[in-house]
Structures are given as C-alpha cells and as structure tokens.
Amino acid sequence: MSCCGASPDLDDINEVSRLVSRKLAAFLRTLRDSGFAVGLAEGQDAATLMAAGYAARPGLLRSALKHLLSTRKADWDRFDGIFDAFWLGKRVRSRSIATGAAKPANNPSLKSLPNQSAEPRAGAETAIDQIPSVDGVENERSGDGRMEGASRADNLAEVDFRNLADPQQVELAHLAAAQLARVMRTRLTRRDLARRRGYRLDLRRTIHGNISHGGVPLSLVRRQRKPKPLRLVVLLDASGSMSMYTGVFLRFIHGVLDEFREAEAFLFHTRLAHVSDAMKERDAGRALDRLSIMAQGAGGGTRIGECLQTFNRWHAARVVHSRTCVMIVSDGYETGDAALLGREMAALGRRCRRIAWLNPMMGWRGYAPEARGIKAALPHVDLYAPANTLASLRALEPYLARL
Amino acid sequence: MKTRDEIARALGDAGYIADGELAIAIALMQQLRRPLLLEGEAGVGKTEVAKALAAVHATELIRLQCYEGLDQSAALYEWNYQRQLLSIQAHRGADADAVEDQIFSEKYLLERPLLAAIRRERSPVLLIDEIDRADDEFEAFLLELLSDFQVTIPELGTIRATAIPHVVLTSNGTRELSDALRRRCLYHYVDYPDIDREARIITTRVEGTSASLALQIARMVECIRKEELRKVPGVAETLDWAAALVGLEVKDLHDAPETVHETLMCLLKTQEDKARVSREVTQRLLGRVA
C-alpha cells in the first residue's frame, strides 16, 4: 500500500509529513482527553501505520487505529465517533444513558456533576488515615500515574452520596458501587484461595511412602490446609438519617455478598430485620426492591442498642463465630439508651474477630463523634472508617482482605 | 504481509468466518509485532480465532489456560525434581559442582507453554486463554515476557525467543485487566456474530445444513439471545443445535416446532432458562423467524 503517486518535491513531502504528524499528535491528545490510555509507544506505532499507507484510506486507518489505541470495551465503542468527528468532521452521536457499570466515567453527562467534592474530600482524606492501610487505592495507579478500572469514575468517586440528587446520578452511583463490589469480590475471593494454598510437606507420609525407594524422598506428599471460611455479617442502619446512603450501601453490600463467602445481612432502625434471603436474590434490582420495603423505618429514630441486643440474643450464636467480621454501617445517632449500646457492643466484640463501623458522617468536614451512641460504641470498634463516597468504599478493600 | 482480504479468506478456509475488522487486527499483529487481546462474552468464539490463526500460518498452537493461582512453574518451566534426585544418587561421590551443573541442564528442564512458545524454531501461535482468571502477579510477570519475548531462568540464564510467537490473549471480563497489559496489546472486541455471519458459520461448520435452514437457525438464536436469560447461548451452542437439527433431518424449523422446542436444550444451559423458554415462547419466537 502506498499513499503517494507522483514524486513531488522533497520539501513538499516533508511539509506534508509534518502536517500529518501534527494532526496525528492532536488526535492522540484528543483521545487522551477522552480517557484513552495512549502512550508513546502507541503514538509511534500509529505514526508507522500512517507512513505505511493507511493514511490514504480513512476506513482502514480508522479500524487499524481502533485496534491499536482502544484498550477496553468502552474505548472500542466510542472510538469510531471520535475518529469521525476529528478526521472527517462528523458530529459525534450523542450517547444515551450508560447502562453498564463501567460506563459512568465515560458518560459526558457526568461532567456536569456539581463539584461538591471539596468538602467531603477534605474530611475523607483525614478520616481514611484511620484505616490501617490504603495501599489498595495506591495499587490502582499504574506506573505512569494513569488511573484504571473503576477508579476512572473519578468525578463520581469523590462525590458524597447525599449530594446526588438527580435520579440519574443516583443510578450511576449504584452501578459504580455494584461494579466496585464486583471487582473487590473477585480480588477478595482470589486472596482467600491464595491464603489457603500454602502447602506444607507431610514428612511422615513422605518418608513412609518412599520406603520402597530406600528412603530417598522421590515423591513428596504435601498437606493441604483445610479451608476455614471467613464470615461477614453486615448490620445496616436503615433509619431516616441514613436514607441518602442506604440505597448505595445496599447495592454495594449486595455486590460484595453475592456468591462471595459466608455472609449474613441485617437491617435495623427501630427493629432488627434479617435480610440475608433478600440479599441472595441474584438480580440486584429485585433485591433492592425487596430490601427497600424492609428498610422502611417507622420514623421513630434509631435504637441501635436495642437492635444489637436483639441481634446478640437471637442471632449472634448462629451467625457469629471466631472468624467473623461484623460490619456496622450507621451514623451512630442513638435515640435509645447509649449505655445499653456500649454494653451490647462489648458483648458482640467478645464473640467476633473484628467489628468495623462505617460512618457516612465521618466524611463530612468538621464531623466529630460527639453523638452519645457513637461515643459509647467506639471503644469496642476495631475499624472506624468513613463511607460516604465511592472512594471511601474502595479504601475498605485492604481491610476486608485481611479478615 | 497479507492484505486484509487475503487474511479473511485464509481464516475462512480454516473454518473461521471473520468480520473485516478482525482481519485488520491480524494484519496489524504481524506488522506491529504486538499481541492481540480479544475481549467479549463467553461463547462468541475468541479461542477459535487463535486456532484459525494457527491454521492460517500452518504453525503449532500452544495454549496456556489461565486460572486462579497459576504460577510461573506451571506456565513457564519446572525442574524435574525426581530425575534430579535420582541423578544425585547415581553420581554419589562425584564432584559436587559437576553434579550441580548436570542436574540444572536442559535435560532436566520441563518446558511449560510459555517457554515452549519462545523456543520454537518457527513462530507458533501462543494462546493465553482467559487471562482475566489469572492473578495480578501473573499478569505482571507476563508483561515482561510479552514486551521483550525473553525469560530468565536463574540456573540457565536469559533465554531469548528464537522466533517471536503470534500471541492471542482472551478475556471474558471477569476481572479488570491492568492498563499496562492492555496497552501492550492490540484490542479487539468480539461480539456475537450478526445473523448473516452466524448463518455462514453454520453452513461452514455443520455439514448438510442448507442455506435457508442456517438462516432460520441464526435468526432463531438471535431472538433467543434477546430473551432474558441467565446464560446467553454462544456460537458453539448454535453449532450444537444446528448439528442436532440436521441429525434429526429437520429441513425447515416451521415444519417441526416440537423438535425445535425439544432440541433447545442445546442452547439453554440452566433449568431457569429452560423454564423461561416454554413451548409458547418457542412458538412465538418461531413466528418471528420468517
């Protein structure tokens, strides 16, 4: 394939190639601005292709550059539109609302999200320090500092859930939470298996089995560790003060629990409800529907202490054992007896491996755990972390992995 | 270098009906010496691409099936410990250094797929299947191999590829792959084939299927894929179903609605899906297949 017919003046050729390379560089920049991961090597290969004659045939060039410069399905779907807009001056087709979880970052409508991240972010950063390690967040940055995966939804990741007023944005946050949970679940399951995989040599059987070889250990017998399933018990506050967060949490927890490990889920407000069965619903939408009916509080405040008492009395013996992490998601506004809450937390703490308390309020600037409930509970909590944005949910992963 | 049309024709001869874009991707693989990452739903024929590519190049296909916990010893190389131990016994009393040199030589090296792929005289097709099932660590290890086509074995030194293999990676998207890996590869998203292409796939792969029956089957499968199913049937399932229908001597789907419904088990793989596609639903879908 050759792009040139007659042989024009050398200066002209240089001028043309200069123009083409400048245009190509501008195109690569456009792609980078649109979130494509285009590095130097890709740029060089693109230039090689242009020089090899692809430049003369737009259809062929588009397809070749699409393979070279796209790195994921979302890129693949958008590439043709961007190419046509840039090289052929066509209008980019407006895309309808994202349906996949990975798409929110790429949805142009997200760019209009109000920049309300400053306030929660300031609080979140200081608060995340209380999580033992946040290297999971760091790990998601690749060498060149480009974010990848779910973290591409940066603008959404830092927005406090309560600031998502538009139903469309709420839906996007739900999708992103479900996607985050899915990614996390895969990694956690894998770590679980890897942890179990530590083979040890069974010396007695090895020697016994190699007597016929004169005692030379030709075939080694290894002992496999017995799997010890870890259990997660989630207690979710579904009271009025938490209403802005309940939806996203339900989606997140549904994602984490689904097919994951031994897990139980409870909702509480003035009463405690066992919702594991509803959580087992495969379809996230149906699960949410079932749960939101159960989650409708009586509006009489939150009786965390009494609910915990019920939990300890009726459920704990069955669902909590020494390898259980209890995760309480609540803002800690106790309208009942705070002393009772402290006592029940202590009782629960004796039963389980760890108690993690996730508090959406913690991400707010100037928040201090002054409420009676949370003050009484805190001495018995192993992890106290914010959970008001997708970023803070993501920061939980290293902790969950160490269960 | 072959042109796009030549590649498409060669793939067709090898039994793979490719769309135009995939042919371009394969042309680029050769031109830019980059691996090809194929992503798409399970059952759309990603693995088949590698097989067809091996047939096109008339070369060996080396397959590495990824799974959780896959490590270097299973993917790259392993020493034959039992033979090494025997050899130590046999050379008892000999110079220790000499014995060591001997037992860490080629003879005691067990080649695994990745090492095999870079030591072949003629470029093989290396299929790294379902890379998303492997761990992050393995993916990172792979980066080095895919960019430099060399590996280092501590006892033997660095082994460089004699001929650079054609590498095809497939992913079902169960895990997000790293940007680093994605950027080293050409990317192609494999979708379910459209009706015409699926009909052509059926006539090519299932002997005795008439063009009209193949078209009906492809249309019916397309309709079934639009139903709310837990497991959407892939191309392999379509081929199974076509083979079943041909075996039962069905010439036209409308003539044998009962057989059509009963053989849907080739497409529907869960009890839930079977229950969802009842006799009435089959009838309704058949009505849409002209």
- Closest partner CB to A194 (pick from B21, B24, B69): B69
Give the pLDDT band of residue B168 (cuts 50, 70, 90): very high
Cβ(A82)–Cβ(A30) under 8 Å?
yes
Ranges A5-19, A151-165, A353-367, B157-171: which has the least confidence: A151-165
Give the residue from A163, A140, A135 showing the smallest Cα distance to A153: A140
Supply the pLDDT for residue A101.
Answer: 33
What percentage of chain B exceeds 70 in pLDDT?
Answer: 98
Q: For all residues of chain B together, what is the average pLDDT?
A: 88
Alpha-carbon distance of A253 to A269, in angstroms, equals 17
- Residues B194-212 as b/e (b if ≥16 CB within 10 A, e otherwise) read ebeebbbbbbbbbeebeee
Helices A284-295 and A243-257 pack at an angle, to 10 degrees, of 140
Which of the pair, B250 or A176, is modelled with greater confidence?
B250
- pLDDT digits over A387-401, tens only? 777 777 777 777 766
Instruction: Give the minimum alpha-carbon distance from A32 to chain B in angstroms, rounded to a whole number.
Output: 13
Q: Considering only alpha carbons, which residue of chain B is nearest residue A38?
A: B183
> pTM for the complete prediction?
0.59
- pLDDT digits over B3-43, tens only? 788 888 999 888 888 888 999 999 999 888 899 999 988 88
Supply the pLDDT for residue B115.
Answer: 93
Amino acid at B63: R
Supply the pLDDT for residue B224.
Answer: 92
Rounded average pLDDT over A15-34: 85
* Residue contact B135–A194, C-beta within 8 A: yes
CA B281 to chain centre: 33
- pLDDT digits over A100-124, tens only? 333 333 333 222 222 333 333 333 3
* Residue contact A67–B31, C-beta within 8 A: no
Q: Considering only alpha carbons, which residue of chain B is nearest residue A59?
A: B21
Q: Where are the domains of chain B?
A: 4-69+124-149+165-189, 195-283
Amino acid at B99: V
Which structure tokens are listed for B275?
């229950």
Question: In whole angstroms, how far apart are CA B210 and each of A326, B251, B262?
Answer: 62, 8, 21
Q: HEC states along chain A?
A: CCCCCCCCCHHHHHHHHHHHHHHHHHHHHHHHHCCCCCCHHHHHHHHHHHHCCHHHCHHHHHHHHHHHHCCCHHHHHHHHHHHHHHHCCCCCCCCCCCCCCCCHHHCHHHHHCCCCCHHHHHHHHHHHCCCCCCHHHHHCECCCCCECHHHHCHHHHCCCHHHCCCHHHHHHHHHHHHHHHHHHHHHHHHHHHHHHCCCEECHHHHHHHCHHHCCCCCCCCEECCCCCCCEEEEEEECCHHHHHHHHHHHHHHHHHHCCCCEEEEEEECCCEEECHHHHCCCCHHHHHHHHHHHHCCCCCCCCHHHHHHHHHHHHHHHHCCCCEEEEEECCCCCCCCHHHHHHHHHHHHHHCCEEEEEEHHHHCCCCCCCCHHHHHHHHHCCEEEECCCHHHHHCCHHHHHCC
Give the pLDDT band of residue B170 (cuts 50, 70, 90): very high
Start-to-end C-alpha separation, chain B: 43
Q: Is the ipTM of this complex over 0.85?
A: no
* Residue contact B187–A148, C-beta within 8 A: no
Report chain B residues whose CB lies below 8 A from the CB of A70: 187, 189
Which structure tokens are listed for A287?
């699960």
Rounded average pLDDT over A252-266: 70
Is a pLDDT exceeding 50 seen at residue A308?
yes
Supply the pLDDT for residue A111.
Answer: 27
- pLDDT digits over B97-116, tens only? 888 888 888 888 999 999 99
Question: In whole angstroms, how far apart are CA B202 and each of B8, B196, B263, B269, B289?
Answer: 17, 10, 16, 20, 16
Chain B positions contacting chain A at CB under 8 Å are 4, 20-21, 24-25, 28, 31-32, 34, 36, 39, 68-69, 82, 85-86, 89, 135, 173-176, 178-180, 182-183, 185-189
Is a pLDDT exceeding 50 seen at residue A154?
no
Phi-psi category of residue B149: left, alpha or beta, with phi > 0 → left and psi -120 to 50 → alpha: left
Phi-psi category of residue B33: left, alpha or beta, with phi > 0 → left and psi -120 to 50 → alpha: left
Supply the pLDDT for residue A258.
Answer: 58
- pLDDT digits over B49-67, tens only? 999 999 989 999 999 999 8
Is a pLDDT exceeding 90 seen at residue A16?
no
Ranges A138-147, A200-209, A318-327, B22-31: which has the least confidence: A138-147
Q: 């590996």: which residue's tokens?
A: B151
Give the pLDDT band of residue A32 (cuts 50, 70, 90): confident
Give me the architecture of the B4-69+124-149+165-189 domain, per CATH.
3-Layer(aba) Sandwich (3.40)
Q: 């390690």: which residue's tokens?
A: A133
Alpha-carbon distance of B275 to B277, in angstroms, equals 6
* Residue contact A67–B189, C-beta within 8 A: no
* Residue contact B4–A60, C-beta within 8 A: yes
Ranges A108-122, A362-376, B44-58, B196-210: which has the least confidence: A108-122
Cβ(A307)–Cβ(A267) under 8 Å?
no
Q: Using DSSP, state whether B22 is helix, strand or coil.
A: helix
Give the residue from A376, A379, A381 showing the smallest Cα distance to A304: A376
- Closest partner CB to B179 (pick from A71, A77, A194): A71
Q: Considering only alpha carbons, which residue of chain B is nearest residue A190?
A: B68
* Residue contact A67–B69, C-beta within 8 A: no
Supply the pLDDT for residue B71.
Answer: 82
Alpha-carbon distance of B7 to B1, in angstroms, equals 10
Alpha-carbon distance of B286 to B263, in angstroms, equals 14
- Residues B133-160 as b/e (b if ≥16 CB within 10 A, e otherwise) read bbbeebbebbeebbeebebeeeeeeebe
Q: 């740029």: which residue's tokens?
A: A43
Supply the pLDDT for residue A196.
Answer: 59
- Closest partner CB to B186 (pick from A67, A183, A194): A67
What percentage of chain A exceeds 90 in pLDDT?
Answer: 6
Alpha-carbon distance of B19 to B2, in angstroms, equals 16
Rounded average pLDDT over A319-330: 84
Is a pLDDT exceeding 60 seen at residue B161?
yes
Alpha-carbon distance of A39 to A51, in angstroms, equals 19
Query: In terms of residues, how long is chain A?
Result: 403
Give the residue from A237, A261, A268 showing the smallest Cα distance to A324: A261
A46's CB contacts (< 8 A; 6+ apart) are: A24, A28, A65, A68, A69
Q: Considering only alpha carbons, which residue of chain A is nearest residue B84?
A: A218
Supply the pLDDT for residue A107.
Answer: 32
Establish if A64 touches chain B: CB-CB under 8 angstroms: yes
Q: For all residues of chain A together, what is the average pLDDT?
A: 70
Which residues make beta-bridge pairs with B43?
none
